[in-house]
Amino acid sequence: MSGWELVEQVRRRVGAEQGTLRKAASLRVALCYPAPYAVGMSSLGFQTIYREIHRHGEAAAERAFLPDRIEDYRRARVPLFTYESETPLADFPVVAFSISYELELPGLLEMLDLAGIPLLRSERSAHHPVILAGGPLTNADPLPLAPFVDVIAVGEGEELIRTFLDAAPAVPRAALIERMAALPGFYIPGKSGALPPAARAPDDRLPARSQIVARESVLGPMFLIEAERGCSRPCAYCVMRRAAGGGMRTVAPERVLSLVPADARSVGLVGAAVTDHPGIKRIVRALVEGGRAVGISSLRADRLDDELVGLLARGGYRTLTTASDGASQRLRDLVGRGTTERHLLRAAELARRHGMRRLKLYQMIGLPGETDADIEELIRFTGELARIVRVTLSVSPFVAKRGTPLDGAPFEAIPSLEAKLARLRRSLKKPAELRPASARWAWVEYMLAQGGEPAGLAAMDAWRAGGSFRAWKRAFAAREVMPEARAAAGART
């Protein structure tokens, strides 16, 4: 594409949006998502911070995303620019990133490079923007970001972004960074000591909800709204478990429904444990009876019953999606999942009863202590489910996250994981569709999740070397990131 065609692509997308914000303000923030537009516009956190910045009296946000085709920008020699005013990122005083998980780190590096901003904070001068980072990644471990960003907002961002904006106007770059070091909820690489506790947004700032409905989002023109935040469950592998952020906070059904626009034809209810909301049936029923399609981000198998699944079918569900997250009952019990075979069989029966085409089941392999017998149980039980309804098994290797009871648990060797996936593929070829995640990229995610600042520097090295798996292995070795964990990559991968 030419530079003009790149601008036209952005204008076409903005022209098709509903809810785009524009405002003259003394402080302009480039709000970035380190993935393509379709992914970024499906992020409820990103959309919420966009609105919160505009709510501030002296600030406005303009969005930027990782290009769909990075080579087009490089070939056209076009610096990365914002969607609202087509201004290069380097011209903003603040460039803020919302980051969901570890594998989005190369996207951040790519965006900084396309903007002409030095990757390392140590190489920037007073003339460069302040680089702020926040998002779901900060609920786990944001330290891999530390070499590249000036300020990290740790935890829920609704109040933190307001605190930052209050401090930002008319303050020189160095003075702003120094000021943020004294405020709770912020981590300043090179200045702060330990990471602060994750901030919690006031309850009256909930729920998060869409500001812009974008047809090119991966979810389509769906209005997203948060029915609850956090989780009351004890799952040992999850950063959203009940000990984090004070457990689950629910939003009253009346408030959820009152914030859904009258013209929204499709509504997504978002949260870590939406079906644990005591008023979930009331919310879904009201939406469905209003003629809207409904989606829910987290269906817990033990919360599914005939009434709820029937409402979901009326709301457009054709696939019932839930999670097992343990190859056997022994492992599910070990990690506190709280899901049993009875719950999952019931889900399959309900899906068939209400005319759904399939049951999609999220599954983890590689949990600590997993044996061949556990995998054999998964094969056997998946076959039982498939005799009731068509099954899609989405399988991902376990990745230990910081701040969870399984923090520091080893990553199973890639050759072992790949052998298990091959065994599942052979054994389930007829009864189920298998959709495996890459064991190699799960290992990269693990190294970033557990490796701290050295892992972030290795990410830069790997990105500069082309981003192949081999480049990542070499980069982790050169930076001496977790030598005991590098063996899990396997000698021949």
Residue 322's CATH number? 3.80.30.20
Peptide bond into 172 cis (omega under 30): no
- What's the whole-number mean pLDDT along residues 409-431? 96
Is 493 a residue whose pLDDT tops 50? no
- Is 215 in the same domain as 161? no
- CA distances to 18, 79, 86, 115, 434 from 8, in Å: 18, 15, 10, 19, 40
In a domain, 490, yes or no: no
- Is 221 in the same domain as 264? yes
State the helix-helix crossing angle for 105-114 and 439-464, rounded to 10 degrees. Answer: 30
Q: Which of 125, 154, 187 is the last residue of a domain?
A: 187
* DSSP assignments along 219-236, one per residue: T-SPEEEESEES-----T
Contact 215, 16 (CB under 8 A): yes
Residue 486, pLDDT score: 85
Nearest Cα neighbor of 374 from 398, 350, 352, 403 is 398
- Is 151 in the same domain as 177? yes
- Is 178 in the same domain as 217? no
Per-residue pLDDT reduced to its tens digit, 71-83:
999 999 999 999 9
Q: In whole angstroms, give the CA distance from residue 28 to residue 165.
A: 10
- Is 74 in the same domain as 219? no
In a domain, 410, yes or no: no
Q: In whole angstroms, give the CA distance from residue 26 to residue 24.
A: 7
In a domain, 433, yes or no: no
- Is 67 in the same domain as 108? yes
Residue with tokens 């829920």: 156
- Is 249 in the same domain as 308? yes
* DSSP assignments along 154-197, one per residue: -B-HHHHHHHHHHH-TT--HHHHHHHHTTSTTEE-TTT--SPPP
- Is 176 in the same domain as 208? no
Q: In whole angstroms, give the CA distance from residue 231 to residue 276.
A: 8
Residue 245, pLDDT score: 60
In a domain, 366, yes or no: yes
In a domain, 480, yes or no: no
Is 243 a residue whose pLDDT tops 70? no
- Pairing, β 228-229 against β 249-250: antiparallel
Is 242 a residue whose pLDDT tops 90? no
**Residue 100: CATH number of its domain:** 3.40.50.280
- pLDDT range class, residue 244, cuts 50, 70, 90: low
- What's the whole-number mean pLDDT along residues 156-175? 91
Per-residue pLDDT reduced to its tens digit, 283-340:
999 999 999 999 999 899 999 999 999 999 999 999 999 999 999 999 999 999 999 9
In a domain, 193, yes or no: no
Q: How many separate domains does the chain show?
A: 2
Q: Interior CA angle at 459 toward 474 and 401, to 5°?
A: 105
- Is 100 in the same domain as 223? no
Tokens of 229: 């935040």
Is 204 a residue whose pLDDT tops 70? yes
Mean of pLDDT over the chain: 95
- Is 306 in the same domain as 372? yes
Q: In whole angstroms, give the CA distance from residue 404 to residue 238.
A: 6
Grouping H, G, I as helix, E, B as strand and the rest as coil, residue 203 is: helix
- Is 165 in the same domain as 312? no
Contacts of 157 (CB under 8 A, 6+ apart): 45, 48, 49, 52, 98, 134, 135, 199, 201
Q: Fill in the DSSP letter of residue 41.
A: T
Helices and strands in the chain: count of H runs, count of E runs: 17, 15
Q: Fill in the DSSP letter of residue 372.
A: H
Residue 169, pLDDT score: 80
Tokens of 373: 């017998």
- Is 268 in the same domain as 340? yes
Give percent of the chain above pLDDT 90.
Answer: 91
Residue 240, pLDDT score: 84
Q: In whole angstroms, give the CA distance from residue 347 to residue 361.
A: 10
- CA distances to 9, 331, 411 from 12, in Å: 5, 49, 44
State the helix-helix crossing angle for 157-167 and 173-180, rounded to 10 degrees. Answer: 140
Amino acid at 105: L
Grouping H, G, I as helix, E, B as strand and the rest as coil, residue 62 is: strand
Q: In whole angstroms, give the CA distance from residue 361 to residue 315.
A: 20
Residue 492, pLDDT score: 46
Between 232 and 476, the higher pLDDT residue: 476
- Tally Cβ neighbours within 10 Å of residue 302: 17
In a domain, 226, yes or no: yes
Is 279 a residue whose pLDDT tops 60? yes
Owning domain of residue 121: 3-187
Nearest Cα neighbor of 84 from 131, 17, 14, 37 is 14
